[in-house]
Structure 1
Amino acid sequence: MGKIFVAQLLGLPVFGPDGESIGRIRDLVAGLRPDGSAPRVLGVVIEVATRRRIFVPMLRVASIDANAVTLATGSVNLRHFHQRPNEVLVVGQLLDARVAVVDSGARAEVVDTAMEQTRTRDWVLARVAIRERTGRLGRRGPITVLGWSDIRSPGITELAGAPQAADQLLAVFDTMRAADVASALQDLPLKRRYEVADALDDERLADVIEELPEEDQKVLLAHLDDERAADVLEAMDPDDAADLLAELSELDKNRLLELMEPEESAPVRRLLEYSFDTAGGLMTPEPIVLTPDAPISEALARVRNPDLPPALASMVFVCRPPTATPTGRYLGCVHIQRLLREPPFDLVAGAVDRELALLRPTDSLVEVTRYFATYNLVCAPVVDDEEHLLGAVTVDDVLDHLLPENWREREGADRA
């Protein structure tokens, strides 16, 4: 195995000696040396199927190629990875770190690093790809690959304290699902989490915050200035925004609601009127709603929206105008399987299921759970006593509340 750039490793599948799937590479762990010599790569961070990240020492890595990483014979410690004080995450912390070129003193940022195996079979970060910052405005120069000894590298203390851009780390995150980015953020030092949050656009940050544990959500939201926090809340699904705001003090909650645009805060305010463990508190106020004279083709176009969660796309609700919740009189729903069987120019009114039982906003979590189990659905209408559609509950929202409160949180056990 020769020189391997870290960017080539990220996301590669990891297999055991018998070909069994272990997970995917998410980062490398290195030890920075006091004398500034090339850091030794201590191991890899692997994300297993449950989204837990585990540490595997480099001694357990049997082979690395362009398509996969294979581990040597032996057991894998499945305890959650916990970074030690003398260690650095190559992707999470070294990328975007500020360095200086020894010969010229030029300022630069780390774009990538490459590891090589020494005669003693240790892996070290022997090479580093940098991009120089030139001129008073810090314009970006070309990428140059240098030996580790050709740069004045940051130390653990500098990485923990100096401000750092997040361009390269965001380039890595750009290929990952929001849930996986949230998982990665939990392994980063708090300073680095803030830098990533500052660099993400509002829509992406909103998606990531929705996947974080409750306490981490509050910490990141508190880091943002009030104007941006309100913008991020607007970009979140209303039910997730309501859940997060419900955990804040009355003062903070009301301040952020006032900063949100009225059309964005209105559905969130309605959701906050219900207890979190009722159908009203669980529902999203933005299901697919059509009038009875809409054609099947329009319904199909709406459910094809790639930004729509699969559970919410499984059902179209038919109501009298207005179609924004709370709607006019609720008439029924059309299941996606029925839409696929009907001629596209027929009206949705001819495919409406008028017999499906309804949820009321005050129904308890137990009643909502029983409803889903009874009807084998992944989405259900929530209708008030005046027959207005208020929103829809999806099965993933139910699972979020059935699982233990800390199910998104990481285990703090150290590795052996």
Structure 2
Amino acid sequence: MAAGAPRIFVSHLSGVAVFDPAGDQVGRVRDLVVMLRMGQRPPRLLGLVVELATRRRIFLPMTRVTAIQSGQVITTGVLNVRRFEQRPTERLVFGELLDRRVTLTETGEEVTVLDLSVHQLPARREWEIDRVFVRKGRKGSAFRRAKGEALTVEWTAVTGFSLEEQGQGAESLLATFEQLRPADLANVLHHLSPKRRAEVAAALDDDRLADVLEELPEDDQIEILGKLKQERAADVLEAMDPDDAADLLGELPTDEQERLLSLMQPGDAADMRRLMSYEDRTAGGLMTTEPIVLRPDATVADALARVRNPDLSPALAAQVYVCRPPDETPTGKYLGTVHFQRLLREPPPTLVSSIVDSDLQPLDPDADLPAIAGFFATYDMVAAPVVDEAGSLLGAVTVDDVLDHMLPEDWRETEFHLDEEEVATDGS
């Protein structure tokens, strides 16, 4: 559902077919998973519970839903088929929120929830519940239909859903820190007791935990990963940037590495193994395997559409790499780079192959850290292609990864930290 599209009432999603990009049905929607928040803030829609043909129920994150239209849900085609397990901070819409008795804030009258509507936030890949369809009067029963006026109100017009603010359960702590950037939340976790750190990590969704793990010191990463169930640990590693996940895997014992790799999607596991084959502090060891790759016949409009992806870091979105097929790394022959500023200056129908910068020499995968830093400083780059002897693009090194390896190991603790008063340390 594109930003600005009409809202969708959740009752219309019950039993809706889910299709992959090729048009093959993969299952049907059986529920929606939301995360409640403190006060009157609307809940986030995290994803869908999808029942496969085998009757197994899996979790489909909203980040992998590309469209909801004409009574069907379209996915990116990448599905994790592990059985869905509800987490402490999650609520099922059909199973827990519908038919619930809540209170109208303005009048204090109790009403019954009949339906909820969801919408996608503008220019973001996040969804929220925004409105509630309720009926006044007593709740009905299996033998008698309730009578009374039905009306649709804003989420903020009712109470009885949101989290209570007293206590210090993981839910309340998560709600308190929800607006923090991953680096700041990582700093909070670092200062929590091991018990509280494990509770919060267990309650975070996979994508959020992956972002936070990337910002934590190595010891904290290993501790948190070790307290997760192995299936979930594999999911979180898949959600991390490939280079960060490979670095973390490389710190684990070999048998544990193999167990986690065997639980990952084959493509993700192959990327991990390839990155782990390079020496630390080399271009191959620092690179991500997921830069923006375009074929020569792609247009400027195609490139700008890829750059707009909100899941990309600013460094990865700064340029695109033009290669012959295949498009996945390792690619076909690397032809050159097109910088974001150049894309903005050209007409949308222009072929990227006609404006490619082929003069800039790419990095060799065995280039060491001083050579990589010198490359960035010489050419004022924020990302650089890594190309092998055969001319295939292997990935891209970004300036943040270079800085991470050039700063002192304890830089997170000595330079950027919150006041101790801001950190909840109870629960030891």
Length-normalised TM-score, structure 2: 0.58
C-alpha separation between the residues in 1 aligned to 2:399 and 2:304? 21
The residue type equivalent to 1:259 in the other structure is L
Mapping for residues 83-122 of structure 1, pairs under 5 Å: none
Aligned length: 263
Mapping for residues 115-130 of structure 1, pairs under 5 Å: none
Alignment of 1:288 onto 2:292: yes
Distance 1:341 1:229, change over 3 A: same
User: Deviation above 4 Å: which 4+ runs of structure 1?
Assistant: 140-146
Give the superposition deviation at 1:394: 0.6
The match for 1:315 among 288, 302, 319 is: 319
The match for 2:389 among 385, 395, 404 is: 385
Alignment of 1:360 onto 2:356: no
The residue type equivalent to 1:233 in the other structure is L
Distance 1:357 1:170, change over 3 A: same
The residue type equivalent to 1:240 in the other structure is D
Give the superposition deviation at 1:396: 0.5
* Matching residue of 1:370: 374
Give the superposition deviation at 1:316: 0.4
Q: Which runs of 5+ in 1 are unaligned?
A: 1-6, 9-95, 97-139, 147-152, 155-163
The residue type equivalent to 2:297 in the other structure is D
Which secondary structure state, in structure 1, belongs to the residue aligned with residue 173 of structure 2? helix
Identity in percent: 61
Give the superposition deviation at 1:143: 8.2
C-alpha separation between the residues in 1 aligned to 2:372 and 2:363? 7
Q: Which runs of 5+ in 2 are unaligned?
A: 1-37, 40-88, 90-158, 421-428
Which secondary structure state, in structure 2, belongs to the residue aligned with residue 286 of structure 1? coil
> Is residue 383–residue 399 contact of structure 2 (8 Å, CA) maintained in 1?
yes
Please identify the structure whose Cα radius of gyration is greater.
1
* Matching residue of 1:228: 232
* Matching residue of 2:219: 215
The match for 1:327 among 297, 318, 331 is: 331
Give the superposition deviation at 1:352: 0.2
* Matching residue of 1:271: 275
The match for 1:406 among 404, 410, 415 is: 410
Give the superposition deviation at 1:406: 2.2
> Is residue 186–residue 410 contact of structure 1 (8 Å, CA) maintained in 2?
no
Alignment of 1:301 onto 2:305: yes
C-alpha separation between the residues in 1 aligned to 2:203 and 2:164? 26
Alignment of 1:260 onto 2:264: yes
Which secondary structure state, in structure 1, belongs to the residue aligned with residue 412 of structure 2? coil
Which secondary structure state, in structure 2, belongs to the residue aligned with residue 229 of structure 1? helix
Which secondary structure state, in structure 1, belongs to the residue aligned with residue 278 of structure 2? coil
> Is residue 321–residue 328 contact of structure 1 (8 Å, CA) maintained in 2?
yes
Distance 1:144 1:236, change over 3 A: closer
* Matching residue of 1:189: 193
> Is residue 163–residue 172 contact of structure 2 (8 Å, CA) maintained in 1?
no
Distance 1:391 1:222, change over 3 A: same
Question: Superposition RMSD on alpha carbons, in Å?
Answer: 2.6
1:311-338 alpha-carbon deviations (Å, 9 max, x no partner): 1111100000001000000000101111
C-alpha separation between the residues in 2 aligned to 1:258 and 1:399? 31
Mapping for residues 38-117 of structure 1, pairs under 5 Å: none
Give the superposition deviation at 1:184: 1.1
C-alpha separation between the residues in 2 aligned to 1:323 and 1:306? 20
C-alpha separation between the residues in 1 aligned to 2:224 and 2:397? 27
* Matching residue of 1:16: none
Give the superposition deviation at 1:144: 11
The residue type equivalent to 1:263 in the other structure is G
Give the superposition deviation at 1:204: 0.8
Length-normalised TM-score, structure 1: 0.60
Distance 1:382 1:191, change over 3 A: same
* Matching residue of 2:10: none
The residue type equivalent to 2:343 in the other structure is L
Give the superposition deviation at 1:243: 0.4
The residue type equivalent to 2:258 in the other structure is N
The match for 1:243 among 247, 255, 258 is: 247
1:323-363 alpha-carbon deviations (Å, 9 max, x no partner): 10000000001011110000011110111001001100011
